[in-house]
């Protein structure tokens, strides 16, 4: 261990959710974390709490559970923010919510950046259709594209938003969008795109003059592996996209800058499980590497402190005694108490281990709810627990 272990352990800082939401400089909150930790619920609860405290909020969800979506009035996936009913607007706030339509967002990008003729060509290309609806990673890019759009609208529109809360796709690749500008850039400047677009531009494969053995080898291989028809589709697609790549990259750069901005706050969401907290560490490291502003960690589903004044081991011993005396119900209650005490201790230890490794990261623990959240009242309760530390 380092010298710091000789000092008294610092109390981990707690994440002040209300201060974060009340700060008018906070314009974007991005929730990220592994799947199944309550990320969408956290995003929606943060949005609701901010709205009821007077902010004009839009929540962008990626793939909400059906009943949660219904509670937000999201009955169809139409890519348009809609007002959420049942909100306390006394403070002048407002809450809109929307669900991301990946394909439609991609189509809009194409339409915005290409001439009408090129756009139609791209939209009709079978390769594009597959990219826009199924390419692993499209969801991440389009979530960020949509965020950029919402942010631009927020500044323009009269009744715009002063806070955007974004949910991210449930995978480690959720942070792939951080690589988007670089990846698009290297792709654009890459030799491959010039290589593959060359034959089509010159009106067919005959137009490709072999400038070196490498290119010959590559095209021959591509032809063998892909087949002539697929190679043609790829060429048409790459050519058509080439004309709009500049705009594409500019937008990716812009969104990247927006994420790094001080008005943005990343919130990493986790559950008190080894895997989820390990993923949280990964997210924290990834965000730090890119200099992204991290507000803190939310740990959902914490086992609340058990009934006071009785340790797990004592409860177990007494439970046995009572079972022998045929006091089965009280015995069972004590066995349960012992199990819950152990679970609460395990959860606390897992979080403590995380904070020991990341002492500067503010943490907020949210006690597990007895039921799934699927209405505004449930979200309000989650928001209350988020702010209750």
Partner 1 sequence: MPPPSSTVSLPAGSQAPLPDGFERVRLHIVTGKGGTGKTTVAAALAAALAARGKRVLLAEVEGRQGISQTFDVPPLPHTETQVAATSGRGEVVGLSVDAKTALLEYLQLFYKLGRAGGVLERFGAIDFATTIAPGVRDLLLVGRVYEAMRRRADARHHRRSDAPYDFDAVVLDAPPTGRIGRFLSVGAEVADLARMGPIHSQADSITEMLQSEATAVHLVTLLEEMPVQETVDAVAELRSLGMPIGAVVINQARAGLLTDADEGLVTPTDLDPEGVAADLRAVGLDPAPALVDGLVSQVREHAERVELEDEQLTVLEASGLPLVTVPYLVDGVDANAVCEIGELLADQGMVPA
**Which residues within the stretch 197-226 sit at the binding site for partner 1 (CB under 8 A)?**
214-215, 217-218, 220-222, 224-226
Q: Which of 116, 127, 103 is nearest to 236 (CA)?
A: 127
Distance CA 345, CA 351 (A): 10
Structure-derived torsion over alpha carbons of residues 288, 290, 294, 297, reported in degrees to the nearest 10: -60
Residue 291 or 308 with smaller CB distance to partner 1: 308
CB of 340 to partner 1, least distance (A): 6
> Which letter does DSSP use for residue 371 in this model?
S
228 sits near partner 1 (criterion: CB under 8 A) = yes
Phi, psi of 80 (to 5 degrees): -120, 130
Q: How many CB atoms lie within 10 A of CB 187?
A: 15
Which residue among 332, 356, 377, 388 contacts partner 1 (CB under 8 A)? 332
Phi, psi of 29 (to 5 degrees): -120, 125
Restricted to residues 304-323, the positions that interact with partner 1 (CB under 8 A) are: 306-310, 314, 318, 321-322
342 sits near partner 1 (criterion: CB under 8 A) = yes
**Both tokens assigned to 106:** 């991609």
Residue 265: which H helix or E strand, with range?
strand 264-270
How many residues bind to partner 1 according to rule CB under 8 A?
Answer: 82
CB of 374 to partner 1, least distance (A): 8
Restricted to residues 132-161, the positions that interact with partner 1 (CB under 8 A) are: 134-137
Residue 26 or 197 with smaller CB distance to partner 1: 197
CB of 238 to partner 1, least distance (A): 9
Restricted to residues 60-99, the positions that interact with partner 1 (CB under 8 A) are: 63, 65-68
Residue 152 or 328 with smaller CB distance to partner 1: 328
- Cβ neighbors of 136 (< 8 A, separation 6 or more) are 173
Distance CA 133, CA 150 (A): 21
Which residue among 56, 82, 104, 374 contacts partner 1 (CB under 8 A)? 374
Which residue among 22, 85, 202, 328 contacts partner 1 (CB under 8 A)? 328
Q: Report yes or no: 87 and 377 within 8 Å, Cβ to Cβ.
A: no
CB of 303 to partner 1, least distance (A): 10
**Both tokens assigned to 45:** 């609860």
User: Which residues does residue 296 pair with via DSSP β-bridges, in sequence order?
Assistant: 267
* φ/ψ bin of 295: left (φ > 0), alpha (ψ from -120 to 50), beta (otherwise): alpha
353 sits near partner 1 (criterion: CB under 8 A) = no
CB of 59 to partner 1, least distance (A): 18
Restricted to residues 35-54, the positions that interact with partner 1 (CB under 8 A) are: 35-37
| Binding letters toward partner 1, positions 275-304, x by CB under 8 A | xx-xx-------------------------
Angle at which helix 228-242 crosses helix 191-201, to 10 degrees, equals: 110
CB of 129 to partner 1, least distance (A): 8
CB of 66 to partner 1, least distance (A): 6
Q: Which of 25, 33, 53, 40 is nearest to 387 (CA)?
A: 53
Q: Report yes or no: 15 and 153 within 8 Å, Cβ to Cβ.
A: no
Which residue among 77, 208, 258, 333 contacts partner 1 (CB under 8 A)? 333
CB of 124 to partner 1, least distance (A): 14
232 sits near partner 1 (criterion: CB under 8 A) = no
CB of 287 to partner 1, least distance (A): 18
| Collapsed DSSP state (helix, strand, coil) of residue 30 | strand
243 sits near partner 1 (criterion: CB under 8 A) = no
Restricted to residues 98-137, the positions that interact with partner 1 (CB under 8 A) are: 126-127, 130-131, 134-137
Residue 19 or 336 with smaller CB distance to partner 1: 336
Distance CA 232, CA 209 (A): 17
186 sits near partner 1 (criterion: CB under 8 A) = yes
Restricted to residues 257-276, the positions that interact with partner 1 (CB under 8 A) are: 271, 273-276
Distance CA 153, CA 161 (A): 8
326 sits near partner 1 (criterion: CB under 8 A) = no
Distance CA 138, CA 182 (A): 15
């Amino acid at each position: 261990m380092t010298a710091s272990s000789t000092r008294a352990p610092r109390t981990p800082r707690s994440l002040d959710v209300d201060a974060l939401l009340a700060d008018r400089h906070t314009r974007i909150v991005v929730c990220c974390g592994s799947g199944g930790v309550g990320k969408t619920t956290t995003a929606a609860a943060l949005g609701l709490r901010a709205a009821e405290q007077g902010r004009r909020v839009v929540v962008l969800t990626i793939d909400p559970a059906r009943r949660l979506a219904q509670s937000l009035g999201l009955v169809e996936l139409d890519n348009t923010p809609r007002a959420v009913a049942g909100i306390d607007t006394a403070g002048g706030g407002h809450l809109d919510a929307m669900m991301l339509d990946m394909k439609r967002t991609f189509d809009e990008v194409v339409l915005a950046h290409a001439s009408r003729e090129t756009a139609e060509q791209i939209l009709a290309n079978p390769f594009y259709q597959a990219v826009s609806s199924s390419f692993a990673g499209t969801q991440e890019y389009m979530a960020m594209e949509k965020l950029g759009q919402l942010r631009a609208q927020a500044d323009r529109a009269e009744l715009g938003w002063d806070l955007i809360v974004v949910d991210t796709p449930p995978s480690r690749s959720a942070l792939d969008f951080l690589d988007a500008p670089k990846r698009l850039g290297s792709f654009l400047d890459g030799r491959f795109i010039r290589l593959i677009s060359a034959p089509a531009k010159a009106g067919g494969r005959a137009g490709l003059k072999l400038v070196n053995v490498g290119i010959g080898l590559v095209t021959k291989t591509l032809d063998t592996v892909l087949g002539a028809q697929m190679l043609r589709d790829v060429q048409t697609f790459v050519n058509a996209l080439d004309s709009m790549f500049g705009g594409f990259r500019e937008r990716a750069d812009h969104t990247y800058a927006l994420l790094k901005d001080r008005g943005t706050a990343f919130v990493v969401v986790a559950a008190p499980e080894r895997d989820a907290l390990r993923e949280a560490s990964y997210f924290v490291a990834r965000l730090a590497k890119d200099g992204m502003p991290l507000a803190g960690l939310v740990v959902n589903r914490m086992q609340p402190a058990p009934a006071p004044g009785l340790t797990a081991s004592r409860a177990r011993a007494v439970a046995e005694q009572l079972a022998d005396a045929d006091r089965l119900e009280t015995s069972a209650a004590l066995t349960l108490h012992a199990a819950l005490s152990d679970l609460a201790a395990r959860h606390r230890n897992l979080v403590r281990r995380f904070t020991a490794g990341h002492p500067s990261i503010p943490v907020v623990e949210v006690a597990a709810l007895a039921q799934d959240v699927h209405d505004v009242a449930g979200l309000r309760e989650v928001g209350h627990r988020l702010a209750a530390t």
